[in-house]
């Protein structure tokens, strides 16, 4: 009887151990999470705006768009019906074609992150999503990528961390920026200084400046100086503007004329997808929509050097609408 009871007890232990181990293994699998979790709202980047041809009253141009959903994934399958530009009092737009195109692959990148810490940021980004989005960008660094962190406020630029592949240590530095806001917006001067720093210190040949700002420049430099310095150093500017009051013309000009891209984050949570997907653009691995348009004017004539700006509205399959400002000069 004792031996029989012992055998039952041993059998019970074996069954219990097997179930417990299986439960542990299942629990480990269930709680596993991807390295980068993006939970934002859809965003769009505009780039490569350029004129194709023009006559007295009509102009043909193209704009490339990088469209991602709230999880930072490329939105596939968009057609002509998904893109529109509203008519103005003098301009009428017609969409001619939409093509899905790929970028030219690039090697690992060195990205300087330049964060706006001016006083108005406390109202345009009260939840510090620019900081959380920056963490997502850092966590998405590849094996050959590296990033540096700087910020500007008042009349100064601050260099917080040099170029590094460290994907964890910068978080403490980013968190230290919470609440440390105030002063004006020396955007142009800071962009020039950050570009020069990147040109000297960045270890990779594929370099970029990521400029986040919510307002117009209040310093003493100029947009022309920023663009000239960027082109001289071969460092494109990827600008991210926050809120409805951002100067989208200046920021899209800064991006387009330096070979970068412009994200317009009207919703602060768009910063999460903007920063989380910038790595795809920097690596040259993003899928883009090349939109081709004709714009007709009811008065006046098109001339070389004319500045063309506007907003493309993209209707996503979910019914959500996202805006993308564009800028180019007639050539």
CATH assignment of the domain containing 245: 3.40.50.410
State both tokens at 77.
């399958």
Does residue 70 contact residue 317 with C-beta atoms inside 8 Å?
A: no
In the chain, DSSP finds a helix count (H) and a strand count (E) of 8, 13
Same domain, 190 and 108: yes
- What pLDDT, on the 0 to 100 scale, is given for residue 256? 96
Over 90: is that where the pLDDT of 2 sits? no
Same domain, 214 and 187: yes
Burial label for 296, CB within 10 Å (0-12, 13-18, 19+), is middle
Over 50: is that where the pLDDT of 299 sits? yes
| pLDDT tens by residue, 231-256 | 999 999 999 887 777 888 899 999 99
Same domain, 77 and 24: no
- What pLDDT, on the 0 to 100 scale, is given for residue 218? 84
Same domain, 266 and 241: yes
Q: What pTM did the predictor assign?
A: 0.85
Burial label for 277, CB within 10 Å (0-12, 13-18, 19+), is buried
Distance CA 133, CA 40 (A): 9
- What pLDDT, on the 0 to 100 scale, is given for residue 33? 28
pLDDT band at 189 (very low <50, low <70, confident <90, very high): very high
Same domain, 205 and 70: yes
pLDDT above 70 coverage of the chain, percent? 88
| pLDDT tens by residue, 90-147 | 999 999 999 999 999 999 999 999 998 988 777 777 778 788 888 888 988 999 999 9
Same domain, 96 and 2: no
- What pLDDT, on the 0 to 100 scale, is given for residue 215? 64
- CB count within 10 Å of CB 326 equals 29
- What pLDDT, on the 0 to 100 scale, is given for residue 16? 41
- The residue that leads in pLDDT, 265 or 86, is 86
- What pLDDT, on the 0 to 100 scale, is given for residue 270? 85
- What pLDDT, on the 0 to 100 scale, is given for residue 5? 43
Distance CA 150, CA 185 (A): 14
Same domain, 175 and 203: yes
Compute the mean pLDDT over every residue in the chain, rounded to the nearest whole number: 85
| pLDDT tens by residue, 143-175 | 999 999 999 988 889 999 999 988 776 788 899
Q: Is 276 helix (H, G, I), strand (E, B) or coil?
A: helix
Distance CA 273, CA 282 (A): 15
- What pLDDT, on the 0 to 100 scale, is given for residue 124? 75
Ranges 195-209, 241-255, 304-318: which has the least confidence: 241-255
Q: Per-residue pLDDT averaged across 176-192, rounded?
A: 90
Same domain, 16 and 45: no
Same domain, 26 and 49: no
Same domain, 268 and 198: yes
Q: What is the domain extent for residue 7?
A: 1-32
State both tokens at 25.
């293994």
Closest CA to 225 of 196, 248, 264, 198: 196
- What pLDDT, on the 0 to 100 scale, is given for residue 127? 79
pLDDT band at 224 (very low <50, low <70, confident <90, very high): very high
| pLDDT tens by residue, 15-67 | 344 433 444 433 322 222 234 455 688 999 999 999 999 999 999 999 999 99
- What pLDDT, on the 0 to 100 scale, is given for residue 65? 97
- What pLDDT, on the 0 to 100 scale, is given for residue 62? 98
- Total structural domains in the chain? 2
Same domain, 179 and 132: yes
Same domain, 152 and 96: yes
- What pLDDT, on the 0 to 100 scale, is given for residue 134? 87
Does residue 94 contact residue 310 with C-beta atoms inside 8 Å?
A: no
Does residue 49 contact residue 328 with C-beta atoms inside 8 Å?
A: yes
Task: Measure CA 51 to chain center.
Answer: 24
């Amino acid at each position: 009887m004792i031996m029989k009871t012992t055998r039952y007890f041993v059998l019970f232990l074996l069954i219990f151990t097997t179930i417990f181990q299986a439960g542990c293994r299942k629990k480990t699998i269930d709680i596993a999470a991807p390295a980068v979790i993006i939970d934002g709202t859809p965003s769009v980047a505009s780039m490569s705006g350029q004129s194709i041809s023009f006559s007295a009253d009509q102009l043909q141009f193209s704009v490339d768009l990088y469209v991602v959903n709230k999880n930072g994934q490329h939105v596939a399958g968009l057609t002509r019906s998904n893109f529109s530009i509203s008519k103005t009092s003098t301009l009428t737009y017609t969409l001619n074609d939409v093509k899905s195109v790929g970028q030219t692959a690039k090697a690992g990148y060195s990205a300087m992150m330049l964060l706006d810490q001016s006083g108005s940021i406390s109202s345009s980004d009260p939840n510090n999503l620019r900081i959380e989005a920056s963490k997502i960008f850092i966590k998405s660094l590849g094996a050959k990528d590296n990033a540096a962190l700087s910020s500007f406020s008042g009349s100064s630029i601050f260099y917080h961390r040099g170029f590094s592949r460290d994907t964890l240590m910068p978080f403490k530095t980013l968190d230290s920026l919470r609440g440390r806001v105030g002063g004006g917006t020396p955007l142009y001067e800071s962009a020039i200084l950050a570009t020069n720093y990147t040109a000297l210190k960045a270890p990779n040949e594929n370099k970029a400046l990521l400029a986040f700002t919510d307002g117009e420049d209040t310093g003493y430099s100029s947009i022309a100086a920023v663009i000239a310095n960027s082109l001289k150093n071969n460092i494109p500017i990827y600008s991210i503007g926050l809120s409805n009051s951002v100067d989208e013309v200046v920021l899209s000009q800064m991006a387009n004329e330096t070979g970068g891209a412009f994200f317009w984050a009207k919703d602060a949570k768009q910063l999460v997808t903007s920063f989380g997907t910038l790595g795809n653009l920097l690596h040259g691995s993003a899928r883009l929509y090349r939109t081709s348009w004709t714009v007709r004017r009811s008065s006046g004539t098109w001339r070389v050097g004319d500045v063309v700006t506007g907003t493309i509205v993209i209707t996503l399959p979910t019914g959500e609408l996202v805006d993308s400002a564009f800028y180019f000069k007639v050539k």
